[in-house]
Amino acid sequence: MANHHGSEGIVRIGANNVGEVTGFSFTATAEYAEDTTLADTAKTYNVTAITSWNGSVTAFWDEADTNGQLAFVTGANVDLKLYPEGVVNPDTYYYGNALVTEITRNVQRGAITEITFNFIGNGVLTTGTAA
């Protein structure tokens, strides 16, 4: 069984790495329609599902990262690629069009300024293999 360390993770917008990333998470879900009838003894569901995905990326704020952090704009669609285990073949990664819904900046005395980008998938989340 393979394990992976968080230091392997990479986030890209298009072909560009997002700089200073400290972590990311994403969740894929499926909504099913219940089709239980009066004669059923247990709940049943239609096998056709509507899928969705969402997540967030956290980084140390870098206002000079024009192709990475500055490409995250609230309300914009971005070509998002999430690499939990790196970018070496045959590493698995996830990609899709994502709508940036929220950007939060966290400024604390004595700490490095952080920025968090929240997003929702705008279409299908696809699984690929790094080339």
Q: Is residue 67 included in any domain, yes or no?
A: yes
Q: Both tokens of residue 5?
A: 């360390």
- Give me the tens of pLDDT residue by residue for the chain, a chain 131 residues long: 578 777 889 999 999 999 999 999 999 999 988 999 999 999 998 888 899 999 999 999 999 999 999 999 999 999 999 999 988 889 999 999 999 999 999 999 999 999 999 999 999 999 999 87
Which CATH number belongs to the domain containing residue 23 in this structure?
2.30.110
Please, are residues 73 and 100 in contact by the beta-carbon 8 Å criterion?
yes
- pLDDT the model gives residue 106: 96
Q: Is residue 95 included in any domain, yes or no?
A: yes
Q: Both tokens of residue 44?
A: 């049943």
Q: Is residue 1 included in any domain, yes or no?
A: no
Q: Is residue 21 included in any domain, yes or no?
A: yes
Q: 38 burial class (0-12, 13-18, 19+ CB within 10 angstroms)?
A: exposed
Q: Is residue 116 included in any domain, yes or no?
A: yes
- pLDDT the model gives residue 7: 81
State pTM to two decimals.
Answer: 0.88
Q: How many domains would you assign to the chain?
A: 1
Q: Is residue 77 included in any domain, yes or no?
A: yes
Residues 6+ apart with CB under 8 A from 118: 54, 55, 56, 100, 101, 102, 103, 104
Q: Is residue 26 included in any domain, yes or no?
A: yes
For residue 22, the SS3 value is strand
Nearest CA among 88, 13, 93, 90 for reference residue 57: 13
Residue position matching structure tokens 């080339």 = 131
- pLDDT the model gives residue 1: 55
Please, are residues 119 and 96 in contact by the beta-carbon 8 Å criterion?
no
Q: Other CB atoms closer than 10 Å to residue 120's CB: what's the count?
A: 13
Q: Which domain holds residue 114?
A: 6-129
- pLDDT the model gives residue 5: 78
What single-letter DSSP state applies at residue 74?
Answer: T
